Structure 1
């Protein structure tokens, strides 16, 4: 069963998709874990999610892990499907809890109350492909299942 979870092919397009998603999501994870790029670090993010947003503690931890360890997993191709699932779940949660009310479009002009959800839909689309097909070429998953 675990081997099936890791199984993928040598598709270069999957490599491109997982690297793109991982590289885009990792800075958000680094904001949440160690406070890089203007983030609040683990305790600040956890406190915000559990306090102001009302997210249960275990779920707040999963949000932080999905954007940090999940992104690293995508970049390396290790447990690609799990990382993609975490990112997709985070994006769905972000749309439902924050971005839906701001409409579809990003706030390019600064005229909206916040960011829309178009970015999140793109991330979900990429994550779904990786959930279905796996990590592709040059992934740890591929190396593990080829042995």
Structure 2
């Protein structure tokens, strides 16, 4: 097999691309929470009878866990945190849309949060691949 075919069939390159996509795109949400604050999430939590400081967990998941996923640092552990954050986000902000279709696009109303959740779940199961800062451990 040639080098070109090996590259095109590389699971490790695929995992790198998945990490860059899932973690990189979620970084925008984390940076927004870092700069604009987490007050709106805290308000939602308070309305649900929960302490508002839990909102900082969303900031950590969307900023720190995303960076860890992008660089491949303890990827499985970061992906578990990331996936957990997405489950909470779906339950808090999108619960009423789970069985809905977006009338403008015809797509599932919660397809974006589900793509993040499922992408993180794949990384929980596979790990980061060989193009990562840490590899081979249980957290990787």
TM-score, normalized by the shorter chain, greater than 0.5: yes
Match of 1:117 among 103, 106, 110: 110
**Aligned partners of 1:144, 1:61: CA distance in 2, in Å?**
28
How far apart are 1:78 and its partner, in Å?
Answer: 0.8
Structure 2 portions without partners, runs of 5+: 1-10
Post-superposition Cα deviations, 1:22-44, rounded to whole Å, max 9, x if no partner, equal: 11100000111123xxxxx24x3
Match of 1:51 in 2: 46
- Structure 1, unmatched stretches of 5+, are 1-9, 36-40
Question: Cα deviation per residue 1:56-80 (whole Å; 9 max; x = unaligned)?
Answer: 3453222210001011111111121
Higher-RCO chain (CA-CA 8 Å, sequence separation at least 6): 1
Question: Following TM superposition, where does structure 1 have runs of at least 4 consecutive aligned residues deviating by more than 6 angstroms?
Answer: none
Report how many residues are paired. 126
66-75 or 129-138, which deviates more: 129-138
Which of 128, 136, 139 aligns to 1:135? It is 128
Aligned partners of 1:104 and 1:118 also within 8 Å? no
TM-score normalized with structure 2 length: 0.73
Q: Is the 2:42–2:52 Cα contact (8 Å) retained in structure 1? A: no
Larger CA Rg, structure 1 vs 2:
2
* Deviation for aligned residue 1:128: 1.2
Residue 87 of structure 2 corresponds to which residue in structure 1? 92
Q: Output the TM-score relative to the length of structure 1.
A: 0.70
